[in-house]
Amino acid sequence: MSSSASSPAPRARDSWSGQTGFLLAAIGSAIGLGNIWRFPGVAYSNGGGAFLVPYLVALVFVGIPMLWLDYAVGHKFRGSPPWALRKVIGGGEFIGWFQTFVCFVIMVYYGAVLAWGVQYTIYSVNAAWGEDPTSFFTDTFLQVVPSDTFSWSPAWAVMIPLALVWVLVLLVIGRGLSKGVEAANKIFLPLLVVLFLVLVVRALFLPGATEGLNAFFTPTWSSLADPQVWLAAFAQIFYSLSVGFGIMLTYASYLKPKSNLTGTALVAGFANSSFEILAGIGVFGAVGFMAHQQGVAVADVEGLTGPILSFVTFPKIISMMPGGPLFGVLFFSSLVLAGVTSLLSLLQVVSGGLQDKFGWSASRSALVLGVPATVISLALFGTRSGLNNLDIVDNFINSIGVVSSAILFAVLCAVAGPKLSGLRAHLNSVSSVKVPKLWEPLVGVVIPVVLFVMMAMSVVNLVNDGYRSYKLSFVLIFGWGSVLVAVIAALILTFIPWRHRPLDPHATVAQILAEDVRSAQTEGGDK
Ligand code: PFF
């Protein structure tokens, strides 16, 4: 696994043009579909206003500390997860690739939800879903087959926008970090904020909006005694902040040596949560309007979680309100913009990993990862089984893939290499806000234990009860299978020898040459 003198000349890695570019991209990654379609429903069904307590505890004691860990490792070792983690400890590369393939699995279905958003932006113009948005979504649009059948037959209304989404994001990734990802975030994120603010303000002026907000914010304090509510809060923070599975680590690896890490993490963390709460306000303002129109209580409105909230309940609301088409376009294009910037971050993990290991250019990496990703994405999620496949893969890769990768990552950093004290010293040497000593036991012990309990509970449930009413074979293939695929792909990539060594983005030619000579002399000494 050593690099050799005959390998391609090392090329300095790309870097953010400045701290702002990085901050926008980090916020763009965190603000995603999870903020708009996941948070409002999760908060509402887990105690309403009271959910904010476990949620903020999770943000401060889990989200931010893990974000600091991601930033510290990425920035100190200047590489995407496989490179950075092999510098933490020899065998760490495997965990780095595991994180990378978890991102790969997520991106192939995440792109599909974006494609739904693209299509629904168009449908909004004339409320194409007609009188019955529920059957329009499942029967007309997704043409979904019963959950015990499998179909390769294309659902064209998904397949076509999905192919377009892939072309677009691969073109961006192929342009490289600063010209592609950074430039895209600089346009998409401000646009998202503006569109979404207009949407929220409009929602607040709808009749009944206050009832919606009351339903959303009224605390059910007894829910604080329910461990499930706490687990939901931890899971939401993880999902929403994109921590612990390589994304933030990768982004931080492209920062310049003198960068304020901890302060930026705080800004990114709080910006993401603020957007999440804003989404709750917008969504429940609109839901309140719907309840008002129907003359029912908000509690009696159905379909307030997951895809149904965005793709069935929202269309109903859009059809009912004056100026609905414009509201619809705002809502679905916000969903698309929020999702694109997150999808780009998932892609950058994989692209960056390939660039670091093989010395490929951004465009070549985009091609190598883009072809299989597009094919898998179209075949599994652009077809009539798409919704079922997506539901299973999403559940397993999040409750097992993402969580196990975060546990392994945190434990690895605690026991090996520079240890957490070294990483804390690194953070403190460059940052404005100083990391307290308490961070070390928190990240090394408390967080892995909490995550382990969370994962063990999911695994026990899944083993005992399966997942929803899906057939065991589907759960094995798409659920456990997607985690297994990430493990196998990670093993293969770990055993392929390094062809390249990622260098400091600001290495001079002399440093690059010296590094090359050094690596040629020390067989196996890539550390
Ligand atoms: N944080 C983003 C979101 O909330 O949608 C991106 C993301 C995180 C996507 C985790 C997928 C995922 F599993």
- The range of the structural domain enclosing residue 158 comes to 20-480
pLDDT bucket at 307, cuts 50 / 70 / 90 = confident
- Residue with the smallest CA separation from ligand 1 atom 10 is 239
CA of 26 to the centre of ligand 1 (A): 12
- Residue with the smallest CA separation from ligand 1 atom 2 is 32
**202-248, pLDDT tens digit by residue?**
999 999 999 999 999 999 999 999 998 999 999 999 889 999 999 99
- Please tell me the least confidently modeled range out of 144-148, 280-284, 322-326, 500-504: 500-504
Name the DSSP class of 313: I
Which ligand 1 atom sits nearest the alpha carbon of residue 33?
5
Query: Is pLDDT at 450 greater than 80 in this prediction?
Result: yes
Query: Is pLDDT at 523 greater than 50 in this prediction?
Result: no
pLDDT bucket at 418, cuts 50 / 70 / 90 = confident
- Please check whether residue 507 lies inside any domain of the structure: no
458: nearest Cα among 380, 388, 402, 411 = 402
- Please check whether residue 311 lies inside any domain of the structure: yes
CA of 485 to the centre of ligand 1 (A): 20
- Please check whether residue 276 lies inside any domain of the structure: yes
Query: Is pLDDT at 283 greater than 80 in this prediction?
Result: yes
Burial class (CB in 10 A: 0-12, 13-18, 19+), 118: buried
| Mean pLDDT on 128-132 | 97
- Residue with the smallest CA separation from ligand 1 atom 12 is 239
CA of 439 to the centre of ligand 1 (A): 24
Distance CA 276, CA 284 (A): 12
- Please check whether residue 189 lies inside any domain of the structure: yes
With vertex at residue 1, the alpha carbon angle to CA 507 and CA 106, rounded to the nearest 5 degrees, is: 80
**94-103, pLDDT tens digit by residue?**
999 999 999 9
- Please check whether residue 300 lies inside any domain of the structure: yes
**466-499, pLDDT tens digit by residue?**
999 999 999 999 999 999 999 999 999 999 998 8
Which ligand 1 atom sits nearest the alpha carbon of residue 397?
13
| Mean pLDDT on 329-334 | 98
- Ligand 1 mutation target, pool 39, 240, 395, 396, most atoms within 8 A of CB: 240
Which residues, in sequence order, are bridge partners of residue 12?
503
Q: Who's near 66: CB < 8 A, 6+ residues apart?
A: 238, 241, 243, 244, 406, 410, 443, 447
- Please check whether residue 204 lies inside any domain of the structure: yes
Q: Domain holding 189: CATH number?
A: 1.10.4160
Q: Can you give the pLDDT at residue 519?
A: 55
Domain count, the chain: 1
With vertex at residue 124, the alpha carbon angle to CA 118 and CA 125, rounded to the nearest 5 degrees, is: 110
Number of residues written out for the chain = 527
Which ligand 1 atom sits nearest the alpha carbon of residue 245?
10
Which ligand 1 atom sits nearest the alpha carbon of residue 35?
4
The rounded percent of the chain whose pLDDT value lies above 70 is 93
Q: Can you give the pLDDT at residue 511?
A: 66
| Mean pLDDT on 301-330 | 94
| Mean pLDDT on 340-357 | 97
CA of 290 to the centre of ligand 1 (A): 28
CA distances from 519 to 241, 374, 497 (A): 37, 36, 14
- Please tell me the least confidently modeled range out of 297-306, 449-458, 497-506: 497-506
pLDDT bucket at 10, cuts 50 / 70 / 90 = low
Which ligand 1 atom sits nearest the alpha carbon of residue 34?
4
- Sole residue written with tokens 């090394």: 444
Query: Is pLDDT at 502 greater than 90 in this prediction?
Result: no
- Please check whether residue 74 lies inside any domain of the structure: yes
Q: Can you give the pLDDT at residue 6?
A: 42
- Sole residue written with tokens 């690739």: 97
Kindly list the protein residues whose Cβ atom lies closer than 6 A to any atom of ligand 1: 30, 32-35, 106, 110, 239-240, 242, 342, 398, 402
Q: Can you give the pLDDT at residue 2?
A: 40
105: nearest Cα among 282, 284, 350, 388 = 350
- Ligand 1 mutation target, pool 243, 342, 349, most atoms within 8 A of CB: 342
Distance CA 54, CA 46 (A): 10
Which ligand 1 atom sits nearest the alpha carbon of residue 345?
6
CA of 238 to the centre of ligand 1 (A): 8
- Please check whether residue 190 lies inside any domain of the structure: yes
